[in-house]
Amino acid sequence: MQSSNMNSMNSKEIKKILLFGFICVIIIICLTYLFIPKNKNDNDNIDNNSNYSFIPGVYTSSINLNNIQPIILQVKVDKNSIEQIMLTNIPENLSYFYPSFKSAIDEIANHIITNQNFNISNTENPITYEIILNCIDSAIKQARQ
């Protein structure tokens, strides 16, 4: 009688172990899905400019930084390229609060105009670069046909 009781106990334990294992596999799959980077095309920028044509004109986007008034960024495009990127409405205290901002925009603008792509990175000021690139991309999206 004890052996049948042991068999049922073992089968209950096996069922618990299998259920626990199944739950662990589901959790691992969910965590993998959450933490593996996805190919984002949110930043569908001008990396391959040949696919895009622009409506010629000047397009604007604003950058809102803490402690200062919004900065207006203008992007001038012709039919096939970006011709000019510049800041307007530059507050006097920009260099005080964000000393590398002006040099970052100049570097990014020169790169984009010369190479016609967003393939630029900076390890010293990655957040500043990301803010500027997102703002430029926002203006360029307005110009796409």
Do residues 52 and 112 both lie within one domain?
yes
pTM (2 d.p.)? 0.64
Do residues 50 and 29 both lie within one domain?
no
What is the rounded average pLDDT for all residues in the chain?
Answer: 82
Q: How far apart are CA 131 and CA 134, in angstroms?
A: 5
Do residues 102 and 139 both lie within one domain?
yes
Which tens digit of pLDDT belongs to each residue from 64-85?
Answer: 888 788 889 999 999 989 999 9
Share of the chain above pLDDT 90, in %: 33
Per-residue pLDDT band at 20 (split at 50, 70, 90): very high
Strand, helix or coil at 49?
Answer: helix
Q: 90 vs 18, 44, 64, 85, CA distance in Å?
A: 64, 28, 12, 14
Do residues 104 and 56 both lie within one domain?
yes
Do residues 32 and 50 both lie within one domain?
no
List the domain range (segments joined by +) for residue 4: 1-36
Do residues 54 and 122 both lie within one domain?
yes
Do residues 4 and 70 both lie within one domain?
no
Per-residue pLDDT band at 41 (split at 50, 70, 90): very low
Share of the chain above pLDDT 70, in %: 82
Query: Looking at residue 52, which CATH number applies to its domain?
Result: 3.90.1010
Phi, psi of 81 (to 5 degrees): -155, 165
Q: Looking at the domain assignment, is residue 41 inside a domain?
A: no
